[in-house]
Chain A
C-alpha cells in the first residue's frame, strides 16, 4: 500500500460556520476513510474524526482550515472533505 500525506487549505463556505450539525456531517465523511485526518486552524490541531474536536476549532464562515490526511486513501479523503467545506450547505436554522 502506498502511504501518502496530503495537505490542503480550504475556506469554510457554510454561512453559519462549521458548528454542531455541519461538524457532524464532516466527521461522518472523515470516518469513512482509513487515513488519519488532522484539521488545524491557526495554532490548533484536532482529530478530523472527532466531532468534539472539530467543533472546538469554532471555524466560522470565511475562516481557513488546513486538512492533513495520512494513509492509503488520503487523497480521496482530502478531496471529499474539501468539497464539503467549500459548499454552502445552507440550513434553515
Chain B
C-alpha cells in the first residue's frame, strides 16, 4: 500500500464511509485594531451585549436541534456552551477592556478569549484541553455576530454528493449543524475521544477520525477517500479492493458487536457447563460505571495510584475510606479487590520522594515503599478496614517477593484492628489479604505464600516482564514481550495448581485475561476467575460461551509441552479455530491507541 495515501489518526466514532473529501477551512475572522473614542463606549458595550444575545439564540437553536437528533445528555453540551457565552465575570472583563482601554468590542472579546484559550490549551488536564474547541466555537460565533457576518453555510460549494468533512478542528456546533445525508464522515487534526464533537459524532453514528496530525495540508477537496472510524484511518484514492476489504471487515465487526451485545447479561459459562467469574479492572473512578454496564461481577483489581498522582499530599484515611466504601457498595454483593499503592519512589508526593533510580522496575517501589514507610500502608489498611464495615472490600499486595512482606502486612492489620476497635470505629475485622503473583519469586514460592495469603491473583504483564527480563515499555523489545512464552505458561500452571490444591481463590488480573488466545489458555490451565479492563469484558464473556473446557484443557496441555512461543500459539489457535470464526475474532480487535 502506498503510504502517502494513508493518514493515520484516532478512531473516535466507529464505522466506514467512502466518498469525496470536503476540506473546510473555517478560520477565525481577522480583527483589525481600532481604538474607539470615549463617547462610543456605551454603544460599544451595547453592541457586545446584542452580539451575545444573537449567539445565545443560535446556541439555543442548536441545543433544541441536538435534543431532537441526539438526546438529552448531548443537548447539555450546548446548555454549558450558553452558560460559557453568558459568563458574567468574563463579559465583565471584556467590558472593562472596552471602557478603560477603549478597545472595540470584537478586539476586547478576542483578547480575553485568546488568553483563556491559551490557559486551557496549556493545562495538564486532557479534558480541559478538549474544551478549547468549545471555546473556539463560541468565539467564532461572537466575532462573526459583532462583524455583522453570519456563519455561512459551511458546506456551501461542497457539491451535491455526500462528503467526508475534513477540518482542522471540529466544534460541537459544527458537528450537529452538518446535515445528515450530506455528510457521511468527519475527520480533524485536533481532538480526541473525549472531545464534545466526538461524543456527538458517536451519538449521531457518523464515522469520525481525529488527531490526523499534520495530515490535512496534504488533502484537497474533491479527492475520493475511505474513512475508517473504527481503525482511525483516512485512506485517499482507495482501490476497489481496499473498499471491499474495509466493508467486509466492518460487516464482521457489526456482526460481532451484535453477538457481544446479546450475551452481556448472560452467564460466562462454557458450552459444557463450566462457570467463570468475570471481574473488572478499575484504574480510574470513571471506569466504575463502565465495569457495571459491561457485566463485571465485582472488581478484581482496583488500582489506587490515581489517588496519589499529581497531588501534593497523600490522601487521608477519611477520604480513602469513603471512596473505598462507595466503590465497594456500588458492586455489592460482589467483592472489590483493592491493591495497595503500586508506585515507584519517585511518584509519591515530595515528602516521600527519592532520587531517580537506574532500574526503577527493579527498584524501591510498590509494597517495598509501603512497608518501608509504614504510615502509607497503615492509612490504606485503616481505610479498607473501615470500608469493610459495610462492603466486601479486600486487600491485595503488589510485587510480593518475600513471605515476610505478607507477614508484616498482617501485623500492621492486627495493630490497626486493635486501635480502631479501641476507638470504637466500626470496621470489618475479617479482611482477606491477597498476594499478586507477578514475579518469578512469588510464582516459585506460591505454596508458602498461599499459606499466609487468603487469595492469589496473577498480574500477567509484570510476570511476563520479570520472567523474560524484557522491559515492557521498550519499543525495541516489543516483539520479545510475549505472555505466551512457554516459561510464563509453566509458571501460570504452577500457580493455578497450587490454588486449586489448597482451596484458595486464584485469579488472573493482567492483560492476558482480555486477549482471546490467552483467555483460552487460562481456562484450559484451570483459572475460573478472570479480571480485565471493562471494555474487554463482553468479548471475553462471548468467547467463554463459545468454547468447551475439555478442548481448552487439551490446548493447554499442548501449550505446556511446547518449547517455543510459536508452538504455544499454534496449539491455542488450533483449538480456537474449532469453535470460533477467526476472521470474526480478528474484526473485533481494535488497533491499540
Where the two chains meet, the residues of A that have a C-beta atom closer than 8 Å to any C-beta of B are 11, 13, 15-17, 19-21, 23-24, 27-28, 42, 47, 49-53, 55-56, 58, 60-63, 88, 90-93
Give Cα A47–Cα B88 distance, bound, in whole angstroms.
10
Chain A residues in 8 Å Cβ range of B83: 23-24, 27-28, 51
Q: Is the CB of A62 within 8 A of B125?
A: no
Q: Is the CB of B127 within 8 A of A58?
A: yes
Give Cα A42–Cα B123 distance, bound, in whole angstroms.
14
Q: Which 7 A-B pairs have the closest CB atoms?
A: A50-B89, A58-B125, A20-B80, A58-B128, A24-B83, A24-B80, A15-B286
Interface membership of B392, Cβ < 8 A: no
Give Cα A34–Cα B479 distance, bound, in whole angstroms.
63
Chain A residues in 8 Å Cβ range of B116: 52, 56
Interface membership of B73, Cβ < 8 A: yes
Which B73-128 residues have C-beta < 8 A from chain A?
A: 73-74, 76-77, 79-81, 83-84, 87-90, 116, 119-120, 123-125, 127-128
Chain A residue with Cβ nearest B306: A62
> Looking at the complex, which one of A11, A20, A60, A88 makes contact with B125 (CB distance below 8 Å)?
A60
Chain A interface, DSSP helix/strand/loop, else mixed: loop
Chain B residues in 8 Å Cβ range of A17: 127
Closest Cβ of chain A to B578, distance in Å, is 40
Closest Cβ of chain B to A69, distance in Å, is 16
> Looking at the complex, which one of A19, A47, A53, A92 makes contact with B73 (CB distance below 8 Å)?
A92
Chain B residues in 8 Å Cβ range of A28: 83
Q: Is the CB of B88 within 8 A of A24?
A: no
Q: Report the count of interface residues on B (CB-CB < 8 A).
A: 40
* Residue picked from B83, B88, B307, most chain A C-beta under 10 Å: B83
* Residue picked from B79, B80, B319, most chain A C-beta under 10 Å: B80
Q: Beyond A15-B286, A61-B286, A62-B307: 7 further Cβ-contacts under 8 Å? A: A16-B127, A50-B89, A50-B90, A51-B80, A56-B116, A62-B285, A90-B289
Chain B residues in 8 Å Cβ range of A11: 319
Q: Is the CB of B77 within 8 A of A20?
A: yes
Closest Cβ of chain A to B365, distance in Å, is 22
Q: Is the CB of B73 within 8 A of A42?
A: no
Chain B residues in 8 Å Cβ range of A62: 285, 306-307, 315, 323
Q: Is the CB of B79 within 8 A of A24?
A: yes
Closest Cβ of chain A to B332, distance in Å, is 16
Q: Is the CB of B89 within 8 A of A47?
A: yes
Interface membership of B189, Cβ < 8 A: no
Give Cα A24–Cα B77 distance, bound, in whole angstroms.
10
Closest Cβ of chain B to A18, distance in Å, is 10
Interface membership of B203, Cβ < 8 A: yes
Give Cα A50–Cα B92 distance, bound, in whole angstroms.
11
Q: Is the CB of A19 within 8 A of B307?
A: no
Give Cα A62–Cα B287 distance, bound, in whole angstroms.
14
Q: Is the CB of A21 within 8 A of B77?
A: yes
Q: Is the CB of A20 within 8 A of B134?
A: yes
Chain A residues in 8 Å Cβ range of B24: none
Give Cα A89–Cα B128 distance, bound, in whole angstroms.
19
Give Cα A13–Cα B322 distance, bound, in whole angstroms.
10
Chain B residues in 8 Å Cβ range of A51: 80, 83-84, 87
Chain A residue with Cβ nearest B128: A58
Interface membership of B144, Cβ < 8 A: no
Chain A residue with Cβ nearest B309: A62
Chain A residues in 8 Å Cβ range of B74: 93
Chain A residue with Cβ nearest B124: A58
Q: Is the CB of A49 within 8 A of B289?
A: no
Chain B residues in 8 Å Cβ range of A55: 84, 120, 128, 131
Q: Is the CB of A93 within 8 A of B203?
A: yes
Q: Is the CB of A21 within 8 A of B88?
A: no
Binary CB contact string for chain B from 169 to 207 against chain A (1 if under 8 A, 0 otherwise): 000000000000000000000000000100100010000
Chain B residues in 8 Å Cβ range of A19: 127-128, 131
Give Cα A56–Cα B125 distance, bound, in whole angstroms.
10
Binary CB contact string for chain B from 117 to 153 against chain A (1 if under 8 A, 0 otherwise): 0011001110110010010000000000000000000
Interface membership of B520, Cβ < 8 A: no
Interface membership of B359, Cβ < 8 A: no
